[in-house]
Every structure is written in structure tokens, then in C-alpha cells.
A and B are shown apart, each in its own frame.
Chain A
Amino acid sequence: MKKKYIITTALITTVLSLCVFFSFLDSSQSEKTTVSMDTVVTVKVKGKNSDEAAGEILDIVKTLDSKYLSRFSEKSMTGILNREKTVTDSELAGFLLPLISLSEKSNGRFDFTLSPLSDLWSFTSDPRIPKDSEIKAALQNTGYKNVVLNGDTVTITDENVSVDFGSAGKGIALDKIREYCDKKSSIKRVVASVGGSILCRGKGTFTVGIKKPGSPGGEILAALTLKECCVSTSGSYERFFEEDGRIYHHILDPKTGYPVDNGLVSTTLVGESGILSDALATACFAAGIEKGAALAAEYNFDAVFVDNQNTVYITPNLRNSITVSDGYSLVVV
């Protein structure tokens, strides 16, 4: 009797420990980082073969950029479109459809054809304040209405107008990553950051912090507890320069050609679609708190607006999901 008892217990313990051991082997976690789309892309994957999956996800982002979105490449779909002024591609058309729709819904506050303007300000290389006349001239070469969709065919009707995915590309990458993850059942949990646009996918809750402008130490001004979603932020602190005491940032008003000046420092959008989170972040920043909140609601998105007085405005649904850091006050719009 005693012997049997000992043997059975020993066997059970061995089996249990082997199970624990093997489960650790499988549910591994991997984190990989790369530079693409002119920004830092990081992905954290939890699940079987997480290392392989993380690598494949980064490849997807790189391919997306080189094959479709980069406007600096001659071979990408965007490059071809901007050069030939017409291209037939279902993916590209698929990206542009919601952007055109958003441009209309936001009354032109969101516009994806502003490259002549942003190149003028050249935030990424040698920023300068352009002359009024230069701005007016550049504005002539912008306008989303010049981009027409006919099924899968995209046509730009004005020769000087070009398409720029700068304010939506990161979101598109999130959607592509989500597509990939949904196909792989071995992936249990994914958090991807494409230049600050975040994709959370998997069971349970995720904690996403909103970066405090100008903080080198990764400090946050608020933390959001969310279920799986896409989160994107537009901030005036990302790319800007200062001259004569004034701050000029990269989020331009498509109507005036000058940086949006409404006291906002950042907008963060939370919702299902990646491309919309990215585009809406820019659109809502330009629209301001009231109109921005309404716009977000139309798309079933939640929004966070932060102004230069350290006040954080949120749409009602986020009331129980947000914690603001010291020094910030919370207002529900």
C-alpha cells in the first residue's frame, strides 16, 4: 500500500513538472525593434514561435512601406501614383477610401495631399518659416478633392497634387499587423508600436500610457486601461521648431497652411481601426476639442485631448479607463 502511494505521488509530481516545463517552452515572449516608415517600430509577441512571429510582423511593416506607402520611393504604389497620376491597385484604393471619406466628413480639416506644404516647412530636415506667398502657392497644389476613386483605380486630377500617407501610414501598418495576428492562432497576445501608434490584440486588458510632451524619461501624462484596440496620437511636440519665441509644429491646417493653433498639445484616439485611429488623431487635433469629439463619436472612437494648460479632456466612455498623472486635471466632454 505504502509503496504504491509513493510511486503514484512521484509519478504525478513528475508529470506535473514536465507539463509546467513544456508550457514555458511554448508560451514564449519575444520583442523586436526596427526602423521603418521613418520611425521606430517595436513589437511584443506572446505565444508559440513568438520569435518568428515578431520577425514576420516587422517584415510586414517594412514591405508595406516599400511596396505601397512610401512617397519617396519610385517603385512604391504611392510613388507610382504621384508620378503617373493614376494607378490601379485594390490595396491602395482600399487605403484611400476611408481617408477620402474622413476628409469630407471633417470638412477638409484632414487632408492627405499636403506634401507640397509640409515639404515647404521641411520639419524633418531644415525647418524654416515659409513666406506667405510660398504658402499660398503650395496650397494651390493640395486638395483631397483632386483624388478620385473609381473601383480600384485611383486618379489624381491635378498634376501638381500628390498623395502623402504620413498621417495615416502608421495606422495602416497596425491594420496589417492585426490581419496577420488574426490568421495565426499561435499568437496569444500582441502589442505593437509603429512610431507611437499602438495595436493591442489578445485577451485581457492592456495598459497604454500617453507620453508627456518633452519628457526624455518616458514619463506619461495619463494611463489608459483598454481591451484590444488601436491607439494613435498626434502631438505638436513630435516635430516642431521654435523661432522668435513662437512654436511651429508639423500638424498643418489645410486651409491656412500654418500650424494648427488652438491650444492643443496632443490628441489620442482609441478605436478598432488602425488607419482611422491615425488619421482621426490628426483630424481631431486640427478640429479642436468640441468638433473633434463629435468627429470621433461619428466613427465610434474615443478621444483624449490635452491642452497647453495640462488639462486632459476625454470622451465619456473613457471615464473609468483613464488615470491621469500628477499635475494634470481631467474633464469629461
Chain B
Amino acid sequence: MKIFKKSDIILIFAVLFVAGIIFAISSLEKGPPVAHIIVGGEEYKAVNLVDIPEKQVFILETHPETIIVCEKGCAYFSSAGCPDKICVKTGRLTKKGDTAVCLPAGVVLTIEGGEYDAVTY
């Protein structure tokens, strides 16, 4: 059987195109980056990452336990009790759309709102 048929190439480019469009649309919205902590489907906390004076640590009573840190310009899982720790390995989230998830704990950390380059004051 042939490896690449015409329909394959079309499929590949179609998928890449769709991915690009989704990415472009999600990057459009402007606003200060806000970190949303969602636990069990409900929003637990929204933290504005632009005007945050110092580090904020959230210890979530989830099973397994997860700890989220919000500081100026970024948010991230600092530790989690799940076996894979994919959430922690995701690292720092800085711009809109950046997301880290701990499935066993049911926690989603995501950045919404666009990214200003800067705010003048």
C-alpha cells in the first residue's frame, strides 16, 4: 500500500489549517491576562496577573492535592499528588490560551484575556 496518497496530503493540510485558525482566533481577544482556577467544573478563583503585588499560593483540597502559584505575569502548578504530574510538567502559563490540567484532581488552570504588551500609567 502506498504511504502517501493524495487524500492523505489533503487531510494533513486541512487539519493543520484548522489548527491554525483555532489558534489565531483564540489569540485575538485582548485584555489583561487573568488566570482561572477551575475545580470540578466550577470556577474557584480568577487572578489578575498584571496587577498582582506578590506571589499568591493556592492549596487546593482536591484528591490528589494540588498547589497552584500565581505571580506577576504567570501562573503554574507548583506541585500535585497525581502519579503523572503532567500538570506540573506543563510549566509556567503566561499568555491567553495557556492551559495546564490535573485530571485526577479535576483541576484546570487556564489563562484568559489577551496579552497586552504593556500598560502605561
| Residues of chain A having any CB pair with chain B under 8 Å | 5-6, 9, 31, 33, 42, 44, 191, 193, 196-198, 200, 206-211, 215-220, 223, 231-233, 235, 238, 268
Contacts and interface: CB of A to CB of B under 8 A. Distances in A.
Interface in B30-52: 30, 32, 48-51
Contacts of A231: 118, 120
B63 interface: no
A138 B92 CA distance: 51
Interface string B77-121: 000000000000000001000000000000000000011111111
Nearest to A325: B31
Nearest to B118: A198
Interface residues of B, number: 19
B120 A196 contact: yes
A232 B49 CA distance: 22
Given A9-B3, A33-B72, A217-B51, A208 B116 contact: yes
Contacts of B30: 207, 223
Contact of A191 (B4, B51, B118, B121): B118
Contact of A220 (B3, B49, B115, B116): B116
Nearest to A226: B117
B73 A208 contact: no
A197 B121 CA distance: 7
Contacts of B119: 193, 196, 208-211, 218, 220
Contacts of A232: 120
Contacts of A33: 72
Contacts of A196: 119-121
17 contacts: A31-B73, A31-B94, A42-B72, A196-B120, A198-B117, A198-B118, A198-B120, A209-B116, A210-B121, A211-B120, A217-B32, A218-B48, A218-B50, A219-B32, A223-B116, A231-B120, A233-B121
